Structures are given as C-alpha cells and as structure tokens.
Structure 1
Amino acid sequence: MAIIHKATLSPSKLELIAGYLPAQPWFIKEGAAELVGAYRFDDPAGEVGLETHVVTSGGHFYQVPLSYRGYELAGAGDWLIGTMDHSVLGKRWVYDACADPVYIKALAAAILTGQGEAEQYVDGETEPRPSTVTVKGTGTLDGDLPPLSASAPVSGQDVTIIDAGTFRLKVARVLDATADVTANFAAASEPQGELALNGRWAGLDNPVELASILPA
C-alpha cells in the first residue's frame, strides 16, 4: 500500500524527468515530455517511495522508474536525478530507481510472483485511488525470492540491464505500444514466454512489456 500525501513539490516530478531525459542514451530528442501515467510499488519498510512514470515525447513512450528517499543513497551519486522539496516530507532525493536495491527487489517480486501495482491511498482517505498505469507480473512463484544483489545498471539504446546476481532484470526504456505481448492481459498466470511485467494505460489497445527477467 502506497500513501500519497497532499503536498506541493518543488521542482515537480515532471520537471525533474524533463531535465533527466535528454542525457539518456535511449531518449530520442524530439519534443517536450508529457506525463501519460504512473504506477507504484510498495516498500515494506515504508521508507522509500517507488514510482514509475510513463511519459511521451515526440510520439515515443518512455518508462522512467524513480525512487524517493529522505536521505542520500550511498554509492548511487551517478544515478541521482535531483532533489525536491516536499511540503509534507521535507527534502527528498530522487534517483533513477534502477540503481536502488529496494526497487530491484520490488520489481523482481512483481515479475516472479505475478503481483500488480501497489494500491494508492491519499492520506486521510479510505478508498484507494485508481492507478493510471496498471501492471501485472507473469510469474507464479509462491515462496521466498531467490537471493538478490544490486549492481550498477547499464543502459543501452532502449533498455537498462540490472545484474541482480541470480538473474538479470531488463527494464524497457522505450516502450513498444503496438505489440500485443499477451493474448489475454487478465490471464497473466499463463505467460506467453519469458517472465515479465506487463502494463497498460488509457488509450492503449494491448498490454506492453515493461520489464523481464533474463538468465544471469
């Protein structure tokens, strides 16, 4: 469960993302970034915010996972996107979540166990807020996750690869919104191939592969 505070952010998330995108090797520099939607994972410790944004620019769709922390993440300075002032939580350090071990574990868990996005509750409200991007893993693991380690992510033309020790995680950066990755998105327990996280948002005809697991 993710708690959303009624807060003012300075700079905004989209402003941070807009400043981050042009320096990425997978970004095609055409047009200004616009937010399509987002989904969240839960940090069981309740310390790290995990929010993945889908943005569009120049007709292309991009996936930007962010982690929000109340302190600096040791050894992750190269993946610091910026800091923001949160009117409720104070100063927040915003990272490319692919370098954050909390995100790596949450992503792997979603793929392997067939989880979806975290439910979002606005602080003080009792009904969950609908997610603007819905996701579902294709795995069926019922038990403990394999041991995971975190290493520096490596980004290429359209993906980021994270060596997690037991396996590698492939995070799609440029999203193919035309491919039908499953015959039935609701039947994610019957994967069409690799272990993956699939997602969709309003106006999308078919689910899109957002991430997958590769052999180590």
Structure 2
Amino acid sequence: MAIIHKATLSPSKLELIADYLPNQPWFIQEGAPEIIGAYRFDDPAGEVGIETHVVAAGDRIYQVPLSYRGYELAGAEEWLIGTMDHSVLGKRYVYDACADPVYVRALATTILTGRKEAELIVDGELGPRPSTVTVQGSGKLDGGVPTLSASAPVSGSGVTIIDAGELKLKVARVLDTAADASASTAAAPELHGELTLNGQWAGLENPVELAAVVRD
C-alpha cells in the first residue's frame, strides 16, 4: 500500500524528469516529454516513495523509475536527479531509483513472487485510487527472496542493468510497445529464460515488458 498526499510540488515531477532525460544515454530528444502514467511499489519501512513513470517523447515511450527520500542516500550523489519541496512532507531528495536499494528489492520481489503494483491510498479519499499503469510479475516464488546487495547501475542500449549480488536485474528504459510480452513468455518460456515485470496502461493493446530478472 502506497499512501499519496494531496500536495503542491516544486518543481513538479514532470519538470524534474524533463531536466533529467536529455542527460541519459538511452534518450533521444524528439519533443517535450509527457507523463502517460505511473505505478508504485511499497517500501515496507514506509520511508521511501517508489514511483515509476511511463513517459512519451516524440514517437518513443520511456520508463523512468524514481525514489523519493526525506534524506540523502549515501554514496548515490551521481544518481540524484534533484530536490523538490513537498507541501506536506517537506524537502524530498529524488533519485534515479535504479541506484536505490529499496527500489531494487521491491522490483525483484514483485517479479519473483508475481505481485502487482502497490495499492494507492490518497489522503482524504474513500477507497483506493486506481493506478494509471498496472504491472504484474511473472514469478511464483512463495517468499525466500534472495539477499540483495547495492551496486551502481549501468545503462546503455535502451536498458539499465543492476547487478544486485545474487540477482541481476534488467530495467527497460525504452519500451517496445509493439511486442506482446505476455504472449512471448507464455509461448516459449524455456526460450525466454527470464522472469519479467509486464505492464499495461490505457490505450495499450498488449502488455509491455518493463523489467526482468536476468539469468546468466
């Protein structure tokens, strides 16, 4: 469960993303970015906000995972996207979440155990708010997620690779919306060789592969 506050943000999430994208090796400038939707994971400790944005720019669709913290993440200066003033929570440090160990564990857990995105609870609203992007892990592990270690993510060729010790994760940065991720995995799982996180949003006909646990 992710608790969402009705708040004023300065700068906005889109403004931070728009400044961040042109500096990434996987981004091609083709127009102003626009947020299509987002999904969240839950931090069991309730300290870190974990939100992944699906962003359109020109003809391409990108995936931008962010983590929001009330304090600086030690050793992650290179992946600090910026800070924002949150009218409820105060100053927030915004990171490329691929460098945040809380995100890495949440992503791995979701993929391995077949979970979905976190339920969104908004202050002052009755009942949960629907997520604008829905996701589903393909694994069936019943607990026992491996212990993961933090490491620097490496980006290139439209993906980011996170070597997390016992697992290696692949996060798609440029999304292939023409491929049906669920069909390819179901048709030949022994050839696919990966457990995946697939996602869908309004206007998208088939699920898209967002991330995977890579098997060496």
| TM-score bin (small chain) | over 0.9
TM-score, reference length from structure 1: 0.95
Q: What corresponds to 1:4 in structure 2?
A: 4
RMSD of the alignment, in Å?
1.6
* Residue type of the alignment partner of 2:96: D
Which residues in structure 2 correspond to 1:90-129 (within 5 Å)?
Answer: 90-129=90-129
What secondary structure sits across from 2:110 in the alignment? helix
**Deviation digits for residues 112-163 of structure 1, max 9, x if unmatched?**
0000000001112231000000000000000221111110000002000000
Q: 2:21, 2:206 → 1: CA distance?
A: 25
1:1-216 alignment, distance < 5 Å: 1-183=1-183, 193=192, 194-215=194-215
Structure 1 residues 111 and 192: alpha-carbon distance in aligned structure 2, compared to 1, 3 A threshold: farther
**Aligned partners of 1:147, 1:48: CA distance in 2, in Å?**
19
User: Alignment identity in percent?
Assistant: 75
In the TM superposition, residue 29 of structure 1 has moved relative to its aligned partner by 1.0
CA distance in 2 between partners of 1:69 and 1:107 (Å) = 17
Could you tell me whether the CA contact under 8 Å between 1:181 and 1:192 is conserved in 2?
no
Shift of 1:184: 9.7
CA deviation vs aligned residue, 1:17-75 (integer Å, no higher than 9, x gap) = 00000000000111000010000000000000000000000110000000000000000
What SS class does the counterpart of residue 82 from structure 2 fall into? strand
Which residue identity lines up with residue 122 of structure 1 in the other structure? V
Q: CA deviation at 1:201?
A: 0.4
Q: SS state of the match for residue 18, structure 1?
A: helix
Q: Is the 8 A contact 1:200 1:208 kept in 2?
A: yes
The alpha-carbon distance between structure 1 residues 192 and 76, as it changes in their structure 2 partners (threshold 3 A), is: same
Q: Secondary structure at the match of 2:22?
A: helix
- Rounded to whole Å, the distance in 2 between the matches of 1:152 and 1:126 is 40
What SS does the corresponding residue of 1:17 show, helix, strand or coil? Answer: helix
Q: Which amino acid aligns with 1:152?
A: A
- The CA distance in 1 between the partners of 2:47 and 2:102, in whole Å, is 10
Secondary structure at 2:183 match in 1:
coil
Q: Tell me the secondary structure at the aligned position of residue 35 of structure 2.
A: strand
Give the distance between the partners of 1:139 and 1:15, measured in 2 at CA. 35
Q: Which runs of 5+ in 1 are unaligned?
A: none
Q: Which runs of 5+ in 2 are unaligned?
A: none
Indicate the SS of the match to 1:182: helix
Deviation for aligned residue 1:182: 1.1
Pairs aligned (count): 213
Q: Is the 8 A contact 1:182 1:191 kept in 2?
A: no
Residue type at the aligned position of 2:135: V
